[in-house]
Amino acid sequence: MKKGDFRFKRGFTIIEVSLVLAIAGLIFLMVFVALPSLQRNQRDARRREDVMTYLEELKAYQRNNRGYLPNNTTAWNSFFSEYFKNFVDPSGGEYQQVVVQCGDVNADAACNNNVINNVYSSPFPFQYGDKSFVLLVVERAACDGDKPIKTSNPRNVAVLYRLEGAGVYCDNI
């Protein structure tokens, strides 16, 4: 080829351009598929922190009340309204509490209660009656993994919360 001969133009072929666009499209597709999962995991991490915050406030309540927990529905509602103003789930709904007991089971046995059983089969957010975004507070219980078990100590409380992506989170004092 002589100097100044422009019969052959240099550049990318249509196949090369198509290949680059296809690879870029796959990368964008992978990012957009993974992004909702990452966001859901972040919201669930925040929900776990919120349950821990609830338990820390419950410990503060116990310190202020000689080690005792609220002993009736009115006291539980008072605790929740005093200690949690604008306590909001990461998806925007206000947390609400429902307090239940394990029921008549032997010590260290799994709690059998319709409300407790429903938290495992429900979609997110867990709803109970007219309440949504329910923190399920189980009296006289401790967590065994993601399940509450009955304890004989009246000062034990397990808190369950239905997560958006990965089942139920259980933590206790």
Q: What is the Cα 138 distance to its own chain's centre?
A: 17
At 136-155, the pLDDT tens digits run 999 999 998 989 999 888 88
Q: How far apart are CA 143 and CA 141, in angstroms?
A: 7
pTM for the full predicted model? 0.78
At 18-33, the pLDDT tens digits run 999 999 999 988 888 8
- As given in the structure block, the two tokens for residue 75 are 């006291």
**Contact indicator for 126, 134 with CB cutoff of 8 Å:** yes
**Contact indicator for 121, 111 with CB cutoff of 8 Å:** no
Predicted pLDDT of residue 131? 92
Residue with structure tokens 């010590």?
A: 107
**Contact indicator for 42, 69 with CB cutoff of 8 Å:** no
**Contact indicator for 158, 171 with CB cutoff of 8 Å:** yes
At 99-127, the pLDDT tens digits run 998 865 554 577 877 888 888 889 999 99
Closest CA to 151 of 109, 104, 98, 100: 109
Asked if the model's pLDDT at residue 64 lies above 70, the reply is yes
Predicted pLDDT of residue 7? 65
What is the arithmetic mean of pLDDT over 43-48?
A: 93
Please state, in angstroms and as integers, the Cα–Cα distance from residue 126 to each residue in 14, 59, 71, 156, following that order: 53, 24, 24, 23
**Contact indicator for 133, 89 with CB cutoff of 8 Å:** yes
Count of Cβ atoms closer than 10 Å to residue 84 Cβ: 18
Q: Residue 119: which H helix or E strand, with range?
A: helix 114-121
Before 125, cis peptide (omega within 30)? yes
Predicted pLDDT of residue 36? 81
At 155-172, the pLDDT tens digits run 899 999 999 987 999 999
